[in-house]
Structures are given as structure tokens and as C-alpha cells.
Structure 1
Amino acid sequence: MKQTIRNFLVWILARPFFYSFNVRLYLLVLNFLGILNWKNDKISGEYSFITKLTKNFQPGSVVLDIGANVGNYSNLIKQLNSGVMIYAFEPHPKTFKILQENAIKNKYKALNLGCGKSKSKLELYDYKNQDGSSHASLYRGAINEIRQCDSVAHLVDVIDLDSFLSEQNIQKVKLLKIDVEGNEYSVLEGLKESLKKGMIEIIHFEFNEMNVFSRTFFKDFFDLLEEYRLFRMLPNHLLPLDTYSPIFCEIFAYQNIVALHKNKK
């Protein structure tokens, strides 16, 4: 009976006439699955996630905010739990100035650095007419192709986080947040030793259309983070992604992914 109804609906709705309706329905269902909920941190689930998570952090717990932009994520964590130790990384020279002011005000550390697979100098691209935006990316296509805008480039310093953690003598990271417009996988590649040692407890990263330009599939994250359970963030919940499925995972659109180490209770 169910298949008969499905076949009937396909026969009726799978027509060019219903294209606009089908697209709207598709986008709405994506929202229900935690995709393209970018309008604010309430609908994205970030506010609920951070609020529930950080209230239980012990004093001195380490948080790494990679791609901190002006510091909104770090500011919120500090407001909720002043005892955590935050290292906020932002390579954009203009954006970093604002981040540094927020870091001083909220008492966390700001670093004018990008993060990646290894230490290097790379071009960071941003809008030519809106330089200092939250969309700056190491991939020119994120500005020129996806957003159809002229870009300006900044040469920035990039480090690997394995080296940083070793130099700072950090043995445990409670939360690693990564929002680097397509370079998320490269950041994790620079943490391979720390991941192997189980030093990173919780990872929060974005997966979106910029991953097209970095040539990164969701499967790459799934394989690299084999010691973690993956979830997609919903407004007030986490949706388990325990089984890899291309049709449900390889959706190159804004979504927040949470990885919890399997040893975390």
C-alpha cells in the first residue's frame, strides 16, 4: 500500500510543472535534517549545543576556536563559563584586530594564525569590496565562483595544531571548533597525532559547499574520525550519523557536524 501511494505521488509530482514546489519541499526537508539552518545560532543549534556543553566544563578546560572570525563563538563560551581556557585562531589581518579586542575584553587568547596540515604561508581570499567578512577562505572559488564576487588575497601564516599543542604542553582539548570555509579537513590532518592519542574529546566543524573546492567528501571525515561518533546538529538535538550513506551524507550545503570521542561517556 505504501509503495502504491509513493508511486502515485511520483507519477503526479515528478513533472516540470511542479519543479518550483519540489525545490521548496526539498529545501524544507533539508532544514528538518539540520542542513541550511544558517540564519542564526538558535536555528543552527549552536547556541543550544554550546550552552548544554560548556556548563559542565571544569575550570582550565581547553577550547580551540579555529576560524574564530571576530570571536562570537569564543565570547559566548566565556560568558557561559569564565573558567575555560580558549585559544582563538584567525588569520585575516583585519578581522583579527576585532577578535583581539574581544579576546582582551573576555579574557582569552587570540592568535593571528591559520591552521592546516603543516606550517606554511597561504593566500586567504575575501571579498574585494567587503574585505574582513566571515566568508574568507583559503579557496578562491569560495568567493569568485560560489558568491560570484571579485576577491582580494592576503598572505597568511598557517600552522599545524599538533605542533601548537606540543609547544604549549596541552595534553587534553575539551572542545575543538573548526569553521574555516572548506579547509576543515586540512586542519584535522594537522592534528593526526593528537587524534590518535585521544587528546581531542569533542569536535565541532562545518561541512558545506566550500568542500567542493577543497575536494573533500564527508567520507573523508568519516574515515579520519573513526574513533568518534558523528552527529549533525539540529536546533535542540544531535542527529546520529552512525552509518555512512552517500545520499544522506554527501550534501554540500551548510551544516554543523559534531564528533564525540567514543571514550566520552
Structure 2
Amino acid sequence: MDLHSVNPWEVSFLREEVGGYFAHGVELAPGATVLDVGANVGVFSAAVYERLGGDVRIYAFEPLPPLYEKLESNGRDFFAGQLKALPFGLAAGEDELDFSYFPGATIFSSSWRDEGNVEAERKRVTASIVEMIRRGGMGPAARRVPAPILRGLVGRQLKVMRDLETHRVRVRPLSPVLDEEGIDRVDLLKVDVEGAEFEVLRGIEDRHWPLVRQAVVEVERWTENRDRVREVFATRGFTVEAVQDPVQRAADIGMVFALR
């Protein structure tokens, strides 16, 4: 799919990432129902759709208006009616939140980033990208560039994170959405919400947890949040794996995989 996007480079970047969600036993069969929480323009949704040959029902959540506009267009143009774009985020309760939106790097947009911490966040992201390059993520030639030079080059590119807009957006708990949409099973719950993942999980009522068969959650501030995200699933009967590779370690993030 040649997806509509705000920045085409982000689609290429995310396409390289999405394969990592289908690991540690995560599998999907035709006819699955998938929730893409933190959808951006729908790259993960596109990967699911392509894997299952279009035999899937996807609910994609994106609260930021510039991204939702692209997501909705992609759903209309490329998913043959199998993707429903929802113009709000998920949280523990009904609310309106200020989200920082980075037009030059939309994938870092978050309710947890603002002018007070954006410089620290930029340094963290820089460290992660440098580590990715040093491990061959952009080919052997880039790998040979000395680390101090790489940090300078990547840091300059990420100056786009200094250009931010604030959007007031709606967030909702997942349980009433499941009721409203008539969703009776969730074959995969994917959560990538740049720091708000625990709040998303808090929005699932006990009566709805049996509907969830698999989940993959990207966890930010790994050391601080890994165990409590893992515990959410472990106490509800899932087999849980919490994993972190060297690139993720540089960014203080990791992945939690939960299977029935």
C-alpha cells in the first residue's frame, strides 16, 4: 500500500518496525479482529491487512487530527471497508488531554511529551537511532561512521522535535468502545501510545478481559513501567514475555507480549 502520510519517511521507518510485533508466538488467522491503538497513519494496520489477505476487521485509534485525517483516508482508499478509523485515543477514563504533535516527526507525538521534557526526549531518541545504525540498521557504510559523528548528524535531524503543536483531544476507556462497536473478541490488541500504555490497559473492565486473546505493548520508560504492564496480563491468565533489544535499551523502551 502506498499509504497517505504526513512524512513519507515515517512510513518507511515504521514498516521496518512492524515485523517485530509478530514474534514470541503472536499469530493471526484469517477472520481476525485486531485493535491498533496508537495507529498513526495505519502502517501496522496495513501489515496486518496484507498478511491476512484482507480477511480481517481492524479498529484503528488515532486522536491527533492531522494523523486521523490520513488514517481515515487510508482506510477508505486501501482497506476495502475492513478498517474503521476512530478519532480518539484510549485511556483509563473519559477525558480531554493536551497532546504534543511534532509535524516533522509525528511518530514521537504524545500526551507525555511537552516543552518541558522535549530536549531530554530528543537525546533519548538520538541514542536509540545511533545504536540502530551502529548495528547495521542503515547498511554497512553508515555503520562505520564514528559514534560521535553519528550523534551529531542524528541530533541535527531530530531538531524537528523542537517544532511542536498542542492539540486538545478526546480519550476514552476501551470497554465502552467494545460495547458500542459490538466487538465480541480481540484476536490481537496492539498498543503503541508513546508512554500512556498503562492508562490504556486500565480502561479495560474485568468483564472484557476474556475477549482478549493476544496483546503486544510497546512500553516506554522500561525500567519504571515494565513490571506493572507485565503484571496486568499475568494476573489475568496470560503467558507473558517482556523483551528488550540493545536498540530499545538505548531508548529505555521494550516490548511486552501476552498470549492466552
TM-score by length of 2: 0.67
> Does the C-alpha gap of structure 1 residues 103 and 132 become closer, same or farther in structure 2, counting only changes over 3 Å?
farther
Partner-residue secondary structure (3-state), 1:203: strand
Deviation per CA, 1:23-65: give whole Å up to 9, x if none. xxxxxxxxxxxxxxxx6655774265499723xx242x21100
- Across the aligned residues of Structure 1 and Structure 2, the Cα RMSD in angstroms comes to 3.2
Kept after mapping to 2: 8 A contact 1:91/1:114: yes
Residue equivalent to 2:20: 46
How many residues get paired? Answer: 201
Alpha-carbon distance in structure 2 between the residues aligned to 1:109 and 1:95 = 14
Kept after mapping to 2: 8 A contact 1:207/1:252: no
Question: What stretches of structure 1 of length at least 5 have no aligned partner?
Answer: 1-38, 236-249
Deviation per CA, 1:204-258: give whole Å up to 9, x if none. 110123x68xxx52121122112212224689xxxxxxxxxxxxxx996232221
Alpha-carbon distance in structure 1 between the residues aligned to 2:16 and 2:105 = 24
Residue equivalent to 1:98: 70
Residue equivalent to 2:133: none
Deviation per CA, 1:172-205: give whole Å up to 9, x if none. 110000010000010000013245x411111111
State which of 215, 230, 235 in structure 2 corresponds to 1:203.
215
- Kindly provide the amino acid, as one letter, of the partner of residue 162 in structure 1: S
Partner-residue secondary structure (3-state), 1:134: helix
Partner-residue secondary structure (3-state), 1:46: helix
Kept after mapping to 1: 8 A contact 2:33/2:187: yes
> Does the C-alpha gap of structure 1 residues 42 and 126 become closer, same or farther in structure 2, counting only changes over 3 Å?
closer
Question: What stretches of structure 2 of length at least 5 have no aligned partner?
Answer: 1-12, 123-160
- Kindly provide the amino acid, as one letter, of the partner of residue 66 in structure 1: V
> Does the C-alpha gap of structure 1 residues 49 and 94 become closer, same or farther in structure 2, counting only changes over 3 Å?
same
Structure with the greater alpha carbon radius of gyration: 1
> Does the C-alpha gap of structure 1 residues 234 and 104 become closer, same or farther in structure 2, counting only changes over 3 Å?
farther
Residue equivalent to 1:78: 49
Kept after mapping to 2: 8 A contact 1:174/1:201: yes
Partner-residue secondary structure (3-state), 2:46: helix
Partner-residue secondary structure (3-state), 2:162: coil
- Bigger fraction of residues in helix: 2
2:188 aligned with 1:178, yes or no? no
Kept after mapping to 1: 8 A contact 2:15/2:44: no
Alpha-carbon distance in structure 2 between the residues aligned to 1:51 and 1:202 = 9
Partner-residue secondary structure (3-state), 1:78: helix
Deviation per CA, 1:53-107: give whole Å up to 9, x if none. 23xx242x21100000010000111112111110000011101111111111213
> Does the C-alpha gap of structure 1 residues 199 and 115 become closer, same or farther in structure 2, counting only changes over 3 Å?
same
* Percentage of pairs with the same residue: 26
Residue equivalent to 1:6: none
Residue equivalent to 1:16: none
Alpha-carbon distance in structure 2 between the residues aligned to 1:178 and 1:47 = 10
Alpha-carbon distance in structure 1 between the residues aligned to 2:186 and 2:172 = 17
TM-score by length of 1: 0.66
**Structure 1 moving runs of 4+ over 6 Å:** none
